[in-house]
Amino acid sequence: MEDVITLDYGSGGQKTAELIDSLLVPAFSNPALNVLGDGAVLEGNGQLVFSTDSFVVSPWKFPGGNIGRLCVCGTVNDLCMAGGLPKYLSLSLILEEGFPLSCLQEIVASISEEAARTGVIVATGDTKVVEKEKGDGIYINTAGIGFLRAPFLGKDRIREGDRVLLSGSAGCHGAAVMMARAGLVRTDSAKPGNALVSDCAPLTKLSAAALASGTIRLMRDPTRGGVATTLNEFVENGPLCIELTEAAIPVDPPVAAACDLLGLDPLYCACEGRMLAVVDSKDTDRVLDALRSTPGGEQAACIGVVTRSRPGCVLVTTRLGGRRLLPKLSGLQLPRIC
Amino acid sequence: MPCDSAFKNPKDAQLVLEKIAQLSGRTGPVRLMEVCGTHTMSIARTGLKSLLPAQITLLSGPGCPVCVTPAGAMDAVFALAKDPHILLASYGDLLRIPGTQRKTSLLSQKAKGARVESVYSPMDALRLAKAHPELEVVFLGVGFETTAPGTAACILQAASEKLSNFSVLCLLKRTEPALRSLIEAKDFGVSGFLCPGHVAAVTGSDAFSFLPKDYGLPAVVAGFDAADLLYSVAELMRMLADGRPGLKNEYVRVVRPEGNPAALSLTDRVFSPCDAFWRGLGCVSKGGFAIREEFALWDSARKFGFSFSEGAEPPGCCCAQVIRGVVPPTDCPLFGKACTPQDPIGPCMVSSEGACAAAYRYRQIPL
């Protein structure tokens, strides 16, 4: 193998086969994949949940993860939030000519590790190579299939009086990537609880814990647009309102500090391993306990309540006691000047 | 969040608010102005306006660096961006600012093929220049006394390395002349100033002593969290109630009376004061920084013959009056209708620190 990706690796010929046989199949080995057919034949019964997501994160490696981990968690989490139990992934790699093979190996190892951790298999895949400067190192698309276990979730299930839970600190992923992009943190400084790290993690266990412990109306992972935007999507164009208590929203101090520095708001920064859940108020404590006793959910908190005070809006009571609207994100979050 | 973290106990905030309410009984209606985009955002995010007595109006002045950059300058920047040999390096804030034409911005230029990169510091722009010897890298130097020293350091570095494909388009502004111009305008109606803590960290708090001395206006150099803002408002109210305007430095943990001499001398080494266009204020005498002759090789204006006029404001847009605190954002006929953060017309709706964006994003809800 060469030490960088060349156009030959995307030719469909011998070099492509070399990449598949020496790197990809050994990393993901399973009966569905190993036959290397044009498509995978899968086992399963029941209603399916199907989702897809593309990953273009830059830099591909950030504190607390890399694009490989992210491409598994992103799709797995979408399936979980839709009430599914994730089972199968497809993996499509778009590589830029010149991308170091060692980096690809690191990414593939992360994908393999994360897939094993979440109980999904990579059942089918594809590799393409684009010319130098026609891509940003690596892009990945994954699609996922899961089996529906919670068929009762939806915005229309939300009731007045319901509580809004968040499973951990807001904004970790967005803040970590922005800081890495600015060259202000080392991309390998992954000491949880210490430095600024992405929250990139699968929500399989947290969502299962929530579903098993109470009446859940709706679950979503607040990725792009962050907690603020996702909560707005829960109530927009409807008769209900979400009222948040700012002091109750967990924000890790390094995230708060990074956002302060860059002029960002943690409530608009992406999470990649957190879930928002709207729960029946009588089950609030039970669901919170279940989340808090699941790894990754230690900081889970009840951050708000569903009311009718301003239909279609999200309101927040600030620490100071002031009250304001919390609208959706408009456009990109751009770092400020001073 | 840092901007709210100073009050561990909400009751402390309550005590200060009660004091402010008492004082407002003695002062009657007052209008207090901040002149810093970070203050604008902190006030909005903490919901401070919804907590203050009705007699106190908080106004945003010309404190958002991209908002005060005139539309004409943006037009000239867009023209520069059309040159395929030029790579424009800009702070992210500036990317969405429109020129005199609607829906023109550096982001839209970028989508059409212009080379535009968002950077966090002028040193990033310098690195771009080294990485792209085939291109001319132009750094858009906007901001106040806060960003001037870093920009100066960058020009000195480029000069010491004899980097020939790097230059700075200097649109930097000076605070004091702009404040004087604002105060001396006929429609000025502000009772006191919350002075910008970041600027004062560089210039020193003494740089604002002209406010009480020359104009009899109370001034407090303020920090940025909720406690800073509340105490600073209380301090302004106390001076107004006592009829004894003075200068107070609330942000003592960061700001010294004499400022940061190293930063000031860097600025002075590279820049000299010049007349400059401010959106809303027009041409302000000595209201900007120009790159000294000695560093002409790194001055984009000289290198590319860059010049611009003030430029007309988009029809109906009140940004010029909003910047001076004469019209509140919500009184602009376009606010929230034709002009929103998704589809902005004026710069105050675009910048994350613009008064209109703050008023729109963080609309206060009565308790």
CB contacts under 8 A, B 6-45 vs A, are 7, 10, 13-14, 37-38, 41, 44-45
Q: Stretch B26-37: mean pLDDT, rounded?
A: 95
What pLDDT, on the 0 to 100 scale, is given for residue B198? 93
Residue B222 scores a pLDDT above 90: yes
Among A190-199, B60-69, B173-182, which stretch is predicted with the lowest mean pLDDT?
A190-199
Residues of B in contact with A244 (CB under 8 A): none
Among A141-145, A188-192, B61-65, B269-273, which stretch is predicted with the lowest mean pLDDT?
A188-192
Query: What sections of chain A are H helices per DSSP?
Result: 14-19, 25-28, 31-34, 67-81, 101-118, 172-181, 204-213, 226-235, 253-262, 284-292
Residue B367 scores a pLDDT above 80: no
* A320/B10 touch (CB, cutoff 8 Å), yes or no: yes
Q: What are the beta bridge partners of residue A216?
A: A279
What pLDDT, on the 0 to 100 scale, is given for residue A191? 54
What pLDDT, on the 0 to 100 scale, is given for residue B13? 86
Q: Predicted confidence band at A190 (pLDDT cuts at 50, 70, 90)? A: low
Amino acid at A143: A
A317: nearest CA partner in chain B: B47
Among A74-83, A99-108, A237-246, B10-19, which stretch is predicted with the lowest mean pLDDT?
B10-19
Q: Are B26 and B53 in contact (CB under 8 A)?
A: no
The phi, psi pair for A51, rounded to 5°, reads -150, 155
What pLDDT, on the 0 to 100 scale, is given for residue B191? 97
The nearest CA of chain B is from the CA of A248 a distance in Å of 11
Mean pLDDT score of chain B: 92
Q: Predicted confidence band at B1 (pLDDT cuts at 50, 70, 90)? A: very low
What pLDDT, on the 0 to 100 scale, is given for residue A320? 86
What pLDDT, on the 0 to 100 scale, is given for residue B310? 81
Q: What pTM, to 2 d.p., does this model score?
A: 0.84
Residue A135 scores a pLDDT above 60: yes
Q: Stretch B138-158: mean pLDDT, rounded?
A: 96
For residues B176 and B66, the model is more confident at B176
CATH for A155-325 is 3.90.650.10
Among B13, B142, B361, beta carbon nearest to A321? B13
What pLDDT, on the 0 to 100 scale, is given for residue B2? 42
Q: Where are the domains of chain A?
A: 7-148, 155-325
User: How many Cβ atoms are within 10 Å of A102's Cβ, its own excluded?
Assistant: 10
Q: Stretch A196-211: mean pLDDT, rounded?
A: 95
Residues of B in contact with A265 (CB under 8 A): 45
Give pLDDT tens digits for A42-87. Answer: 999 999 999 999 999 989 999 889 999 999 999 999 999 999 999 9
Distance between CA atoms of residues B207 and A212, nearest Å: 63
Q: Predicted confidence band at B4 (pLDDT cuts at 50, 70, 90)? A: very low
Distance between CA atoms of residues B26 and B29, nearest Å: 9
- Radius of gyration in angstroms for the set of CA atoms belonging to chain B, rounded to a whole number: 21
Amino acid at B330: T
CATH for A7-148 is 3.30.1330.10
* B44/A324 touch (CB, cutoff 8 Å), yes or no: yes
What pLDDT, on the 0 to 100 scale, is given for residue A97? 95
Structural domains of chain B in order of their starting residue, each with its CATH number: 32-360 (3.40.50.11740)
Interface of A with B (CB under 8 A): 182-184, 246, 251, 256-257, 259-260, 262-263, 265-266, 310, 315-325, 327, 330-331, 333-338
* A324/B362 touch (CB, cutoff 8 Å), yes or no: yes
Residue B101 scores a pLDDT above 80: yes
Q: Predicted confidence band at B363 (pLDDT cuts at 50, 70, 90)? A: confident
Q: How many CA atoms does the CB half-sphere of B59 hold within 13 Å?
A: 23
B140–A contact, CB cutoff 8 A: no
For residues A182 and A122, the model is more confident at A122
Among B7, B41, B362, beta carbon nearest to A325? B362
What pLDDT, on the 0 to 100 scale, is given for residue B366? 65
Which H helix or E strand runs over B180?
helix B175-184
**Which tokens belong to A258?**
């990074």
Among B4, B143, B146, beta carbon nearest to A246? B4
Distance between CA atoms of residues A338 and B199, nearest Å: 9
Residues of A in contact with B342 (CB under 8 A): 330-331
What pLDDT, on the 0 to 100 scale, is given for residue A311? 95
Residues of B in contact with A327 (CB under 8 A): 360-361, 363
* A323/B365 touch (CB, cutoff 8 Å), yes or no: yes
What pLDDT, on the 0 to 100 scale, is given for residue B3? 41
ipTM for this prediction: 0.74
* B92/A334 touch (CB, cutoff 8 Å), yes or no: yes
What pLDDT, on the 0 to 100 scale, is given for residue B228? 92
For chain B, count helices (H), then strands (E).
14, 11
A179: nearest CA partner in chain B: B120
B256–A contact, CB cutoff 8 A: no
For residues B22 and A187, the model is more confident at B22
User: Considering chain B, what percentage of its residues have pLDDT values greater than 70?
Assistant: 96
The nearest CA of chain A is from the CA of B251 a distance in Å of 17
What pLDDT, on the 0 to 100 scale, is given for residue A334? 64
